[in-house]
Structure 1
């Protein structure tokens, strides 16, 4: 069976649909008892900034419905400059933030699909390392990182809280 999902750069016209998905993720994290994303971040201006900087990507189904959103950033992440632990490489890296999956309808495996789909974009852009972080209690994302071969590197502090940091080296 052919995969009918596609990943494309987000456009400002996608903002409302993306924001709906982000709000679902905020609510899901709240229901799971997490403090992640419960303080007004991310918000529509953060997502609009992602889009205007070319960082925002959306996953679409065959009917062009937005299944998920992710920010893929090819710039130094200030929070990653200091780590309690060690990154596995010193090479330039891509950074993934704000991955959120549509809960209506929820499609199992979308976060894994997106994390896989951004890898060739990184390599084509000359980046052979991806760094990510998440809350200690974000079991879903921790499972995705493990499944896709991300290596735990230590803790970074993002917006005042410790987060688990991971890196994956991509082959050419």
Structure 2
């Protein structure tokens, strides 16, 4: 089941994030580290009503933020759609991998976007996060742009998935 997160979910969310950060580091991705994302990041998502959890048997197995706003640079990205929802901070507990959790979260985000009459779902990932790139491409997200973030050593890759309402 996918539902809006509650304040009581934050400890479980942060446990998943900690495990995912360790896994990303081992794979050579610097996208998530000690600076990002933090509990404050998820508290903000929660306060905006944008943080979702996927759970089974009262265990949170995956998380994502589905936002009406992109990151600050999104206005400068050459997305084809002007009316989109943005998928942020998608994470699946490594213990729950290969069980369709991420796919269900993406499908849920698509349904939310369709309900809001959005034309697309957007997201981004670091260029060294190959697992995320393969995953997004397998779900028909199209490459939009690769851009060097001045505050990071790694470029960001932006994706968009057109939706048909």
RMSD: 1.7
The match for 1:81 is 75
The answer (yes or no) to whether the contact 1:9–1:56 under 8 Å persists in 2 is yes
Deviation at 1:66, TM superposition (A): 0.5
Whole-Å separation in 2 of the counterparts to 1:130 and 1:112 = 14
Report deviation, 1:97: 0.8
Structure 1-normalised TM-score?
Answer: 0.87
Query: Aligned residue for 1:110?
Result: 101
Find out whether 1:68 has 2:62 as its counterpart: yes
Unmatched segments (≥5 aa) in structure 2: none
Determine whether 1:149 maps to 2:140.
yes
Equivalent-residue separation in structure 1 for 2:94 and 2:150 (angstroms): 26
CA distance in 2, matches of 1:157, 1:111: 27
1:166 aligns to what?
A: 159
SS in 2 for 1:152: strand
Closer/same/farther in 2, CA of residues 121 and 104 from structure 1, 3 Å limit: same
Counterpart-to-counterpart distance in 2, 1:146 and 1:36 = 18
Residues paired across the two proteins, number = 163
Question: Partners in 2 of 1:87 and 1:95 — Cα distance?
Answer: 11
The structure-2 alpha-carbon separation of the partners of 1:105 and 1:170, relative to structure 1 and needing over 3 Å to count, comes to: closer
2:110 matches 1:128: no
Q: Quick one: structure 1 residues 111 and 60, their matched pair in 2 at CA, closer, same or farther if it must change by over 3 Å?
A: same
Deviation at 1:156, TM superposition (A): 4.0
Match of 1:94 among 77, 82, 85: 85
Residues 132, 165 of structure 1: 8 Å contact kept: yes
Greater percentage in helix: 2
Give, in whole Å, the separation in 2 of the partners of 1:114 and 1:159.
Answer: 30
**Partner SS, residue 94 of structure 2:** coil
Q: Name segments (4+ residues, structure 1) moved above 6 Å.
A: none
Whether the 8 Å CA contact 1:82–1:156 is kept in 2: the answer is no
User: CA, structure 1 residues 167+139, in 2 after alignment: closer, same or farther (shift >3 Å)?
Assistant: same
**2:76 aligned counterpart, secondary structure:** coil
What residue number does 1:3 align with? none
Consecutive unaligned residues of structure 1, counting only runs of 5 or more, are: 1-5
Q: Which of 122, 130, 147 lines up with 1:139 in the alignment?
A: 130
